[in-house]
Amino acid sequence: MRPWSPIPIQDCGEPLLPLPSDLLRLEPHPYVAAGAPYGAESCPFCLRQGVIERLLQAQRLLQERNTGCRLAIFDAWRPLAVQRFMVAYAIAEECKRLGVDPHLPSAELEAVEHEVGRFWAPPSDDPATPPPHSTGAAVDLTLAGSDGATLDLGSPIDAIGAVSEPDHFAVVAREACDSEQRNQAILFQQRRDLLASVMLEAGFAQHPNEWWHFSRGDQLWAWRRGDHQAIYGRWVFSSSSS
């Protein structure tokens, strides 16, 4: 259970739409490349209509503050099957990195699953507890320069560990032993803060463990704002929504 899981959902019925061309997509999409089961009718670069409007607002704010920057979209909507696949994939990759056998129950495997669970929402099929990305309300993104090349914000999107926490490099800068390390940490934190500032001003909420994850209208958003209700539940394609 996440702290936002008990928040009730009253879906407002907004459609799930493809991202407009004004927003840079990072392609090839990493989860498609990993073999995630999107299916013919599913596109990862989709969000709810109101979320897209807020994302465009965030991009305008960003370009007012730094004309050489733009938002770069890493991932958006995920069907539940993709969430399930990617949780298993993330656990397998972390086990490989740490030399843990993913098929043999152990304290080490439990530790990996716990740490991955800080970043990847459970693929719950309960309509009351949808993964944020399955609602069409959540987006993973970073900053890019005017040429479309992504900027370094100190860790890759989806990195497991403390390095992905939004304020990680503020701590690193305070504790740095030399000026080079301190200056690099300050740069990374400034970029994270810039991204967060425009997203928050546009009405998004940030995941507490992930510098790249923002949402508007889902349970996490309601929890962070102190609201009593979310406005987006899990999106499922049907004949009436296609």
List the catalytic residues: 210
Paired sense of beta strands 46-48 and 24-25, if any: unpaired
Taking the CB of residue 151, how many other CB atoms lie within 10 A of it? 16
Going 88 to 140 to 121 to 41, the CA torsion angle's sign is negative
User: Do 113 and 219 meet the contact criterion of CB atoms below 8 Å apart?
Assistant: no
Q: What residue type is assigned to position 87 of the chain?
A: V
Give the full edge-to-edge strand order of the sheet including 69-75.
24-25, 69-75, 138-145, 213-215, 205-206
In the numeric block, the tokens 């670069």 are attached to 45
Residue 180 parent element (H or E) = helix 179-201
Contacts of 168 (CB under 8 A, 6+ apart): 154, 155, 162, 189, 211
